């Protein structure tokens, strides 16, 4: 009987220890969960003004920038390839009103940029136009184009060819640009040239760079049978 009583007592102690152990684990688990909740709560709290992170402004979307641009339908002037090949004075030397488009900021502030981009188009002949050629090439870099209130577009060249130009090439260069700007923009009534921001005597050695070239000069040069500067 004493041995049986001892076994019962030992069993009871074992059960009590197990119960107390489970209770302790439950308390730790709740404490841990509470700790996690406290931690999460601290993360979700709003930051004070001093703690707010710096914001980075995103670049304006491309479509918004395009909305501020104006598309200009321009009328380009090229050299008549047949005239160059044949030298037939009964032909027009230039071909006007070759269609093109440029984009520039709308309004007066974008007019100079539109003129500059129009000149850049003259560097290449439109695809399929075998009747055209150009003398506006990589020898000439355009610094800027400004348009005065009197309608004069001043084309500032970065430099001029060191060895000059032949008479015909210089005239074609001047009148290609003059025709393209005067025929494309109603605000432009004449064109003059500077070099490096300074008044220049000539571009290629024959024409006066500081003269104001107009549509009247262009028409006189382009008339079939008209004398060129090379012949005067």
Average pLDDT over residues 30-49: 46
Reported pTM: 0.70
**CA atoms of 20 and 81, how far apart (whole Å):** 106
Token pair 């009590």 is at which residue?
A: 16
Class of residue 224 by CB neighbours under 10 A (exposed 0-12, middle 13-18, buried 19+):
exposed
Structure confidence at residue 108 (pLDDT): 86
Question: Per-residue pLDDT tens for 104-132?
Answer: 999 888 999 999 999 999 999 999 999 99
Structure confidence at residue 217 (pLDDT): 95
**CA atoms of 66 and 14, how far apart (whole Å):** 83
Picking from 30-39, 72-81, 150-159, 189-198, which range would have the lowest pLDDT averaged per residue? 30-39
The vertex-218 CA angle with 212 and 220, nearest 5°, equals 115
- 152's tokens: 């004069």
Average pLDDT over residues 185-195: 96
Question: Per-residue pLDDT tens for 79-93?
Answer: 999 999 999 999 999
Contacts of 74 (CB under 8 A, 6+ apart): 99, 100, 101, 102, 114, 118, 121, 180, 184, 185
**CA atoms of 114 and 104, how far apart (whole Å):** 5
């Amino acid at each position: 009987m004493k041995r049986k009583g001892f076994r019962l007592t030992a069993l009871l102690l074992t059960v009590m220890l197990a119960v107390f152990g489970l209770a302790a684990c439950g308390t730790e688990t709740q404490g841990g969960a509470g700790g996690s909740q406290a931690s999460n709560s601290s993360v979700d709290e709003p930051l004070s003004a001093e703690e707010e992170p710096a914001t980075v402004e995103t670049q304006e979307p491309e479509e918004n920038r395009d909305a501020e641009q104006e598309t200009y339908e321009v009328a380009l002037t090229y050299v008549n390839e047949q005239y160059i090949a044949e030298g037939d004075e009964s032909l027009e030397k230039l071909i006007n009103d070759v269609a093109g488009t440029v984009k520039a900021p709308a309004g007066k502030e974008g007019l100079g940029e539109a003129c500059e981009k129009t000149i850049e188009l003259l560097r290449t002949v439109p695809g399929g136009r075998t009747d055209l050629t150009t003398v506006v090439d990589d020898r000439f870099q355009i610094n800027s184009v400004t348009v005065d209130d009197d309608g004069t577009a001043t084309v500032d060249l970065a430099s001029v060819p060191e060895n000059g130009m032949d008479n015909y090439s210089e005239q074609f260069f001047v009148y290609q640009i003059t025709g393209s700007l005067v025929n494309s923009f109603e605000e432009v009534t004449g064109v003059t040239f500077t070099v490096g921001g300074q008044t220049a005597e000539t571009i290629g050695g024959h024409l006066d760079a500081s003269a104001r070239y107009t549509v009247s000069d262009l028409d006189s040069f382009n008339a079939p049978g008209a004398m060129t500067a090379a012949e005067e």
